Amino acid sequence: MSKMRAARLVEIGRMDCEEIEMGPLEPGNVRVQTEMASICGSDLHRVMMGALMDHELPCPHGYPGHEGIGLVVESQSEQLQEGTHVLTFPNTTRCEGFNEYQRIDAKYCLPLPESDVSRPELMMAQQFGTVIYAMNQHPRDIVGKTAVVIGQGSAGLFWTYLVKRAGASKIIVSDLSDARLKVSKQYGADICINAGQDDLLTVVMDHTQGKGADYVVEAVGQSQTLLQSVEAVNIDGEVHWFGLPSVDENIPFSFAKFFRKRVRAVTTYGAQDEPGSPSFREALDLIHQKKIDVSPLLSHRYPIEDINQAMEVAHRPVDEEALKVSVHFG
């Protein structure tokens, strides 16, 4: 059987790229020759912090890569034919996105449209689709309202775009990276706060007459920003905790303040298992039709052999001016 390059998490903070044998293909699955895989914030939480782990160390090859594009080279499914370029979005419990050839259930693949938009840009539909899914799962009327989006990584930027599209009159965003905040303006942000220089809560209260925002999205997943989200929201407002937690431990917060504000707080998880994958289809369509320009997000690209460097850069977005970091198998 043929060999392939494959990356695996061997210890927290270190991934190795090795040459291994390709495994057998199960019925209903396809083998996808991976063209590119992007690094998600949840990957960093697992690789760099050891949170949300689905496997014991050393992890299976390809884990935790779950955002990618590639070519179907072998199929055991009637849904997909060989020779089809696809977006891949496997469930993280069983993913091989950092392998040169990933085995994946056909239901976690969507054919890429014939488009003059590049395939790396179409790859961004994976993360974009998770944000579309989250908004659809917990709809809220925000027309004319003030919204806050904490974190302007690629997920936070997609939130900014969709919140503006949903009719928010004022969007306040925060991040530590000026490079990300610059893109935020293109995606609809009205007020951009560098959280390392200015206090987000002070700005929010100044722009809401001391009431707080009607809608707050936390797109980071860290303790400090989760606490900020509760402080920044108005009475009867809503907080959407979207960022996957960076720690497995409990996070204490002011339940009394949360309770008295009558806050509605929601989370979402598992966009990959949405029947028929409509959210990923919508994301692909919006990118393909150029309703959103995702090209500014594709900031750094490394060969799979340098996946450790790619993870380090993605983990230091301020110093490296990184937005979305990806690895390729070319």
Percent residues over pLDDT 90 in the chain: 94
> What's the predicted TM-score (pTM) here?
0.96
| Nearest Cα to Cα of residue 157 among 72, 97, 217 | 217
Confidence check: pLDDT of 175 > 90 = yes
Confidence check: pLDDT of 1 > 70 = no
Label residue 253 by pLDDT band (50, 70, 90).
confident
Confidence check: pLDDT of 225 > 80 = yes
Give tens-digit pLDDT for 70-121: 999 999 999 999 999 999 999 999 999 999 999 999 999 999 999 999 999 9
**What are the distances in angstroms from CA 195 to CA 191, 192, 199, 245?**
12, 9, 6, 19
Task: Report the distance separating Cα 161 and Cα 184, nearest Å.
Answer: 8
Mean pLDDT of the chain: 96
Mean pLDDT value across residues 229-241: 97
The DSSP secondary structure of 24-66, one letter per residue, reads P--TTEEEEEEEEEEPPHHHHHHHHH--S--SPSSPPTTTT--
Percent residues over pLDDT 70 in the chain: 100
Q: Which domains occur in the chain, in start order?
A: 3-127+272-328 (3.90.180.10), 139-267 (3.40.50.720)
Helices vs. strands in the chain: H and E counts, helices first: 11, 15
Q: Tell me what pLDDT residue 224 has.
A: 93
Q: Tell me what pLDDT residue 17 has.
A: 97
| Nearest Cα to Cα of residue 215 among 194, 192, 242 | 242
**CA pseudo-torsion sign 161, 166, 171, 173:** negative
For 167, the 3-state DSSP assignment is coil
Task: Report the distance separating Cα 132 and Cα 279, nearest Å.
Answer: 6
Q: Tell me what pLDDT residue 249 has.
A: 87
**What are the distances in angstroms from CA 73 to CA 23, 35, 86, 101, 295?**
14, 12, 11, 9, 27
**What are the distances in angstroms from CA 21 to CA 1, 27, 61, 101, 324?**
7, 19, 11, 10, 30
Q: Tell me what pLDDT residue 161 has.
A: 98
Q: Tell me what pLDDT residue 246 has.
A: 84
Q: Tell me what pLDDT residue 72 has.
A: 98
Confidence check: pLDDT of 218 > 60 = yes
Mean pLDDT value across residues 8-34: 96
Q: Is residue 223 packed enough to be buried (19+ CB in 10 Å), middle (13-18) or exposed (0-12)? A: middle
Mean pLDDT value across residues 212-241: 96
Instruction: List all residues 6 or more positions away from 202 whose beta carbon is below 8 Å from its beta carbon.
Output: none
Token digits of residue 183: 């893109």
Instruction: List all residues 6 or more positions away from 172 whose beta carbon is below 8 Å from its beta carbon.
Output: 146, 147, 148, 149, 189, 190, 191, 193, 200, 203, 204, 207, 213
Give tens-digit pLDDT for 260-287: 999 999 999 999 999 999 999 999 999 9
User: Residue for token digits 């809401």?
Assistant: 208
For 72, the 3-state DSSP assignment is strand
Mean pLDDT value across residues 301-321: 95
Confidence check: pLDDT of 248 > 90 = no
Q: Tell me what pLDDT residue 178 has.
A: 95
For 76, the 3-state DSSP assignment is coil
Q: Tell me what pLDDT residue 303 has.
A: 98
Rg of the Cα atoms in the chain: 20
Q: Tell me what pLDDT residue 52 has.
A: 86
